[in-house]
Chain A
Amino acid sequence: MINRRNVLKLGATTAIGVPLLKTKKARAHQVEYEAGRDYAYLSGTERDPVATTCALCPSRCAAIAYKENDYVVKIEGNPASKRTMGKLCAKGQAGVNQIYDPDRILTPLKRKGKRGEGKWEKISWDTALEEITDRLKKMRDQGEPEKFMFHHGWISASADRLINKVFLPAYGTGTVASNSCLGQSARLTAHELTWGGYEDSWDFENTRYVLNFGSNVMEAHTNHVALSRRLSIAQVDRNVKMVTFDVRLSNTGSKSDVWIQIQPGTDCAVVLAMCHVIMSEELYRGAGEEFLAFCQVTPDPNASTAEKVRALKDHLASFTPEWAEGISGVPAKQIREITVEFANTRPACVISSRGVSAQHNGVQAERAIQMLAAITGNIDNPGGRCLGVLPEWHYPTGPEEKPAVRKLDILNGFEGESVLAAHDIGHQVFNMIKEGSAGRPEVYMWYNYNPVFSNGNSQRNIDILKDESLIPFTVAVTPFYDESAALADLILPDAMYLECFDFEDGISPDQIAEYAIRQPVVPPSGEARDFKDVCCELAERMEFPLGFDSAEAFVEQTCNLTPVTKKVGGFNAMTTLGVRSDQEAKPTFYSYKKLINEEQLNKEGIIFDEASGVFWNWQQAGVQSEQDAIKQGYRHSPDAHKGYVAQKIGDKVYSGFKPARTNKSGYFEIYSSTLIEKGLPALPVYTSIPEHKELKDNELILTTFRVNVQTLSRTQNCKWLDEIDVENDHGWINPKTAKALDLSDGDWVKLKTDLGEIKTHIIVTHNVVPGVIAISSHGGRWEYGRYASGKKAPYGIELQAPYDSLMWWENEKAHPNWVIDNVSEPISGQQRWMDTVVTVSKA
């Protein structure tokens, strides 16, 4: 192996922990400690470091894992990472607990007896893969590869490429779903409708004001460490003011200058009222007005800025702060004050997350937030809400000849369930399988995913997954025995992330792409195997070899193909440092302003579309002929966005905001050309949540949240986290609500919906708005090993004394998904986590 230690030392000296002091003298004395080294506390011998990347949440932070006698003992942040500034959160450090979890699955297991009965036998990999190959090959040979359904959760960038982009297409199935409907799809859809296919990134390094709608960035964001560290620095060293709207006082709310209590699902109304104030008080003047040139606000792509201002004023006229107060409970005076303060402090960063989007009006609320940032000129500017910058990996694409991909029509929910469904609606897959009209998979395999636990309506998930007449064969790919694996016919023991090769693509908060890889710190435990390696072998067995025989080869080739990583020395250099970025790269801001010249437009196939002002390439969009393309126009040619080239604005042509999944123009579309064609209002509006209109006295709104030491379903087998998390075992209820329902602190209550009921004890707290019960979404495990559920997994190891008796906490948490139904946000299909109505009574 390469001697990583010395290289780490070279690149790893870093300034730690010392804030900027006010005097020059003080700065000269900033302490420089080395990082990237560690020593055993008893023997003093140096621990052996391996640069790798965390995988416990979507943030994907660069890390260094340390070994003592070939055992992983510690994980910390990689000081070479600009994204994380060398830091790693509690979850990432607790990865040590997972690799040696006594309940880990270490051999392939095949069920004995009935499905879900909990009886297993150990089988060899050869037997397991033979069985899978037989089934998959048969379906493929019969021309029905779509009956192999693959469903995954958060997976690495390389797993996405190797499995989703190479292996599964080479096999021929398109029946592939992700978990994006559980967290992100409403936000992503709103972004796609406005600025195209970019995730948002928040520039806390340059901002002067942070306005937060429903994001818990200090605890649970998908870029948690990178963002919360920068936010903390901004708040203390630059006195950046932060205002948070939330129904619950999260740690983000408590670190804000102001926590504004708001009724669930009403953020959109407040945002519209803020836009109203900005337009009516002429606060858009300056940067906002300038940015409006790049916005579509009316049907006319050539509208003048004055016309756009007029249109916005007209649209927003009735959305007064007084109107919003009536809906949200936020005083009109406060809305006005905050709007003026926010609009006059530039640059300002408007941030938002699941608290706003995982509910009935999620896409509209997120679009309204985009509008608020746009009309104040806080889009893709230093200090604003930016287009996320990611690494661009160039990876081997596998066999040249791939079969035409076939898929079952069970990925996008029921007819009329959502208007766009640009992202799959994974939470309805089981219901669609049960309903059956679009066909059913014969093999349902899941990977890094726990459908039973993570989706709403837990009981129905169990019932359907258990039913052999609905799904004949189920395969779980997981290192741990979770609630879904318990219902599998076959469990393939996946390698844990500290045992794998991967490349990753986390968003860079400094707008410079960072390339990170993951490499094995230790070999896989027991007989566990990296599932990416298994896919290579399955492809071999089915006689369509992928062109690389392992994840290591795939990652190696990718590092050597990708320009940035190639430049720094390819795979070998990446294994020593773990993380690199282009040293000459500058932060990417205002990317939409890039001018496109004549030469770039004078290419074969590129035509101009008058109606939208878009230059597009009809050949790349897959249109039959130029005549068809002209006749149908950009907006009405299917997949025209794939040929998008540039946007004409005035007499110039810009790269604009490139569309991703819909035929939007290259404008920042406040006026959505996509939604108007679906019969929806083109400009953002507020729609109240139908179920909230008439609530009875004993009905509360159930809202879910995540804490800083747990992810939704991955980390509950980490004892170091569980013992911190003990106190999050209750539902939060405001004293006023508790009094009305005759409840007191510590009482056990029943929460009931049509699906059934759960029991939880409550904490009566002033940190939540009245009318709400808030429950963490990661509790109430009934499998996942002893630390998570109190229950050993099959073949779990007995611990020796005294370790066998040191677990002092009990698992009394309630899991809210037993009473939350699989309901979709009507535009995107996002699961609605935040607006379920429950009947509450004393247990």
Chain B
Amino acid sequence: MKEQDKTPDDRRGFVMALGGAIATAFAAIGSIILPGSAAASLLDDEDENDSEKVGVKVQYGMVIDVRRCIGCHACTVACKSEFDVPPGVNRSWVEYTEKGQYPNVGRSFLPRLCNHCSEPLCVDVCPTNATYRREQDGIIAVDHGVCIACKYCMHACPYDARFLDPVNEWVDKCDFCIHRVSKGLAPSCVNTCVGGARIFGNLADPDSAVSMLIASNRVSVLRSEMGTFPNVYYIDADFTDEVDRRRPEVREVRVITHRRHKERT
């Protein structure tokens, strides 16, 4: 949560979330420290000393450098093909925001995925513990065998990152490509990102690329007021939504989600 403190434009969200954060702090710390070097192989860091570190913390996370995003949807399709995601639902997608009045206009891109929150509301509400936070790396995963498709988690998620798989009839979402990450590969969306906007790594390691990007840039997270402590950080993101159209200085906003659900959440 150190990273969260550093986020300059995020104080309000932090204060609101403080209560919940303290309440679960013990649990969080307990789960994030691994006793041995089991996690070392999962680390993205090349440092030779890593394998000798004891008690390494792993919290996988992503930095999305929106300055580099060209809105090409390569990540969306990589994800579709990696998991054979059925039509109509997405684990990852790219939203566009169009703002302004002619001739002063702009369009920005917002790649989206599960935020793998440190305080996941979906885990809180799951009646069967099908959705859980992996102790070894902080990834929020779904155990499909235990999921009863009650959709509580879908309603609880402030990011609309979850969906009911229309083929398998279980709830699903991004899992940071556990099957790739555990084999030393980057998540599929990161691997294919044409602009190089998606950067993946261990947020618990202050020397990792993601941590250094967070430390050296103005970053933000989505809906920080929810107190979920996302592990997906954005550089230079524009979260303007259509509600902002009411602001006199914004006037024109159009959000294009590029998925079946047409509203930004």
List chain A positions with a Cβ less than 8 A from chain B. Answer: 16-19, 21-23, 25-26, 29-35, 37-41, 44, 73-77, 87-90, 93-94, 96, 218-219, 225, 228-229, 232-233, 235-236, 249, 251, 254-255, 259, 261, 708-709, 719-721, 723-724, 726-727, 734-736, 765-767, 769-770, 802-803, 806-808
For B81, the closest partner residue in chain A by CB is A74
Nearest CB in chain B: distance from A736 CB, A: 7
Nearest CB in chain B: distance from A225 CB, A: 6
Contact present for A806 and B70 (CB under 8 Å): no
For B98, the closest partner residue in chain A by CB is A767
Encode contact with A along B92-112: 1 for CB under 8 Å, 0 otherwise. 000000101111011110000
Binds A, one of B19-27, B72-80, B115-123, B155-163: B72-80
Contact present for A719 and B81 (CB under 8 Å): no
Contact present for A723 and B88 (CB under 8 Å): yes
Contact present for B254 and A765 (CB under 8 Å): yes
For B144, the closest partner residue in chain A by CB is A42
For A95, the closest partner residue in chain B by CB is B81
* Known A-B contacts A90-B74, A255-B70; A720 and B195 likewise in contact (beta carbons under 8 Å): no
CA distance A218 to B72 in the complex (A): 8
For A74, the closest partner residue in chain B by CB is B81
Number of inter-chain CB pairs below 8 Å: 208
7 contacts between A and B (CB under 8 A): A17-B199, A29-B207, A35-B186, A38-B180, A73-B81, A236-B65, A766-B101
Of the candidates B65, B98, B192, which one forms a contact with A76 in the assembled complex, judged by CB atoms under 8 Å apart?
B192
Contact present for B46 and A29 (CB under 8 Å): yes
For B47, the closest partner residue in chain A by CB is A29
Contact present for A39 and B259 (CB under 8 Å): no
Encode contact with A along B176-220: 1 for CB under 8 Å, 0 otherwise. 010110011110101111111111110000011100110010000
Chain A residues within an 8 Å CB radius of B70: 218-219, 228, 232, 251, 255, 708
Contact present for A251 and B71 (CB under 8 Å): yes
For A261, the closest partner residue in chain B by CB is B103
Which one of B98, B196, B254 has the highest number of Cβ atoms from chain A below 10 Å of its Cβ?
B196
Contact present for B71 and A708 (CB under 8 Å): yes
Contact present for B183 and A37 (CB under 8 Å): yes
Contact present for A802 and B166 (CB under 8 Å): yes
Residue B82 at the A interface, CB < 8 A?
yes
Contact present for B76 and A724 (CB under 8 Å): yes
Contact present for A806 and B179 (CB under 8 Å): no
Chain B residues within an 8 Å CB radius of A18: 196, 199, 209
Identify the 9 closest CB pairs spanning chains A and B, nearest first: A254-B107, A766-B102, A232-B195, A90-B73, A90-B77, A33-B186, A806-B87, A93-B77, A74-B81
Chain A residues within an 8 Å CB radius of B86: 802-803, 806
Contact present for A29 and B45 (CB under 8 Å): yes
Nearest CB in chain A: distance from B190 CB, A: 5
Residue B258 at the A interface, CB < 8 A?
yes
* Known A-B contacts A218-B70, A232-B68; A17 and B193 likewise in contact (beta carbons under 8 Å): yes
Of the candidates A29, A39, A90, A236, which one forms a contact with B183 in the assembled complex, judged by CB atoms under 8 Å apart?
A39
Chain A residues within an 8 Å CB radius of B100: 766
For A253, the closest partner residue in chain B by CB is B107
Which one of A41, A96, A721 has the highest number of Cβ atoms from chain B below 10 Å of its Cβ?
A41
Nearest CB in chain A: distance from B263 CB, A: 13
Contact present for B195 and A228 (CB under 8 Å): yes
Chain A residues within an 8 Å CB radius of B47: 29
Residue B252 at the A interface, CB < 8 A?
yes
Nearest CB in chain A: distance from B233 CB, A: 14
Chain A residues within an 8 Å CB radius of B197: 17, 232
* Known A-B contacts A29-B47, A724-B76, A808-B88; A17 and B198 likewise in contact (beta carbons under 8 Å): yes
Nearest CB in chain A: distance from B195 CB, A: 4
Chain B residues within an 8 Å CB radius of A73: 81, 84
CA distance A73 to B177 in the complex (A): 16
Contact present for A40 and B98 (CB under 8 Å): no
Residue B226 at the A interface, CB < 8 A?
no
Contact present for A38 and B185 (CB under 8 Å): yes
Chain B residues within an 8 Å CB radius of A32: 46
Chain A residues within an 8 Å CB radius of B81: 73-75, 93-94, 96, 720
Of the candidates A76, A219, A233, A767, which one forms a contact with B191 in the assembled complex, judged by CB atoms under 8 Å apart?
A76
Chain A residues within an 8 Å CB radius of B196: 16-19, 229, 232-233
CA distance A33 to B192 in the complex (A): 12
Of the candidates B88, B184, B190, B254, which one forms a contact with A17 in the assembled complex, judged by CB atoms under 8 Å apart?
B190
Encode contact with A along B222-260: 1 for CB under 8 Å, 0 otherwise. 000000000000000000000000000000101010111
For A84, the closest partner residue in chain B by CB is B194
Of the candidates B77, B179, B185, which one forms a contact with A33 in the assembled complex, judged by CB atoms under 8 Å apart?
B185
Chain B residues within an 8 Å CB radius of A766: 98, 100-103, 105, 252
Residue B67 at the A interface, CB < 8 A?
yes
Contact present for B77 and A721 (CB under 8 Å): yes
Chain B residues within an 8 Å CB radius of A232: 68, 70, 194-197
Nearest CB in chain B: distance from A221 CB, A: 11
Chain A residues within an 8 Å CB radius of B82: 38, 41, 74
Which residues of B, 28-49, contact A by the 8 Å Cβ criterion? 44-47
For B106, the closest partner residue in chain A by CB is A254
Nearest CB in chain A: distance from B242 CB, A: 13
For B73, the closest partner residue in chain A by CB is A90
For A235, the closest partner residue in chain B by CB is B67
Which one of A89, A259, A726, A766 has the highest number of Cβ atoms from chain B below 10 Å of its Cβ?
A766
Chain A residues within an 8 Å CB radius of B188: 38, 74, 76
Contact present for B83 and A35 (CB under 8 Å): no
CA distance A136 to B192 in the complex (A): 46
Contact present for B107 and A249 (CB under 8 Å): yes
CA distance A408 to B260 in the complex (A): 51
**17 more CB-based (< 8 A) A-B contacts, given A77-B192, A736-B102, A806-B166:** A17-B191, A17-B199, A19-B196, A29-B208, A34-B184, A41-B82, A87-B194, A93-B80, A94-B77, A233-B196, A235-B67, A261-B103, A708-B72, A724-B77, A766-B252, A803-B86, A803-B167
